[in-house]
C-alpha cells in the first residue's frame, strides 16, 4: 500500500493533487517500492527559505526538498516539499506551465526518496533521464536539455 498525504500551504498556484500523487506513485512503483508513507507539501518561497536554511543551511529558497525517514527493501517513508512560487517563476523563464514545473519538482523529490542523486555529473544525468521518462507518462517533454544542467 502506498499512502501519500498532500498538504497545500500556498495560494500562488492551483494544485492538481491527484496528478501530484500519481507522479509520486509512478516513481515509487517504477523503482519496486510497493509500500510507502509519503508526506507531500506544496508551499511558497518564504516557507521554503526557512526550511532550506534550517535543514541544509542554505540562505535562500529552493525548488524542492526531500527527506528519507525510513527506507528498506520495497518500502520507503519520506517527505517531499515543493515550492509553487519557485515553480511559477522558473516555468515563466522556461516557457512552460507552472503546473508542469511543479510536477517536475515532485518527481525530482520522489526520485531522491528512492535513491537517485544529482550531485555528480553521471548521477545527475541518470536522474534527468528518469525525470524525462516520468514526465513522458504525463504526455510532457521538459523544455530543457541535458546541457542545461
pLDDT of residue 145: 63
Pairing of strands 2-8, 64-72: unpaired
Residues 6+ apart with CB under 8 A from 123: 116, 117
Distance of CA 23 to the CA centre of its chain: 9
Res 149: pLDDT: 43
Q: How far apart are CA 82 and CA 63, in angstroms?
A: 6
pTM of the model: 0.95
DSSP notation for 75-106: EEEEEEEEEHHHHHHHHHHHTS-HHHHHHHHH
Helix (H) or strand (E) holding 41: strand 35-43
d(CA 23, CA 55): 25
Looking at residue 144, what is its pLDDT? Answer: 75
Per-residue pLDDT 10s for the chain (149 aa) are 999 999 999 999 999 999 999 999 999 999 999 999 999 999 999 999 999 999 999 999 999 999 999 999 999 999 999 999 999 999 999 999 999 999 999 999 999 999 999 989 999 999 999 999 999 999 999 987 644 44
Q: Which domains does the chain have, with CATH numbers?
A: 2-148 (3.40.390.30)
Amino acid at each position: 500500500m502506498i499512502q501519500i498525504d498532500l498538504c497545500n500551504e500556498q495560494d500562488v498556484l492551483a494544485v492538481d493533487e491527484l496528478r501530484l500523487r500519481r507522479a509520486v506513485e509512478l516513481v515509487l512503483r517504477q523503482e519496486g517500492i510497493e509500500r510507502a508513507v509519503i508526506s507531500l507539501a506544496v508551499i511558497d518561497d518564504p516557507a521554503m527559505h526557512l526550511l532550506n536554511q534550517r535543514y541544509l543551511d542554505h540562505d535562500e529558497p529552493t525548488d524542492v526538498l526531500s527527506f528519507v525517514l525510513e527506507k528498506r527493501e520495497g518500502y520507503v517513508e519520506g517527505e517531499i516539499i515543493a515550492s509553487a512560487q519557485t515553480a511559477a517563476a522558473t516555468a515563466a523563464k522556461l516557457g512552460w506551465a507552472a503546473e508542469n514545473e511543479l510536477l517536475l519538482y515532485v518527481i525530482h523529490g520522489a526520485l531522491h526518496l528512492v535513491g537517485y542523486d544529482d550531485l555528480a555529473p553521471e548521477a545527475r544525468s541518470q536522474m534527468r533521464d528518469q525525470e524525462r521518462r516520468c514526465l513522458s507518462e504525463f504526455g510532457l517533454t521538459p523544455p530543457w536539455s541535458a546541457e542545461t544542467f
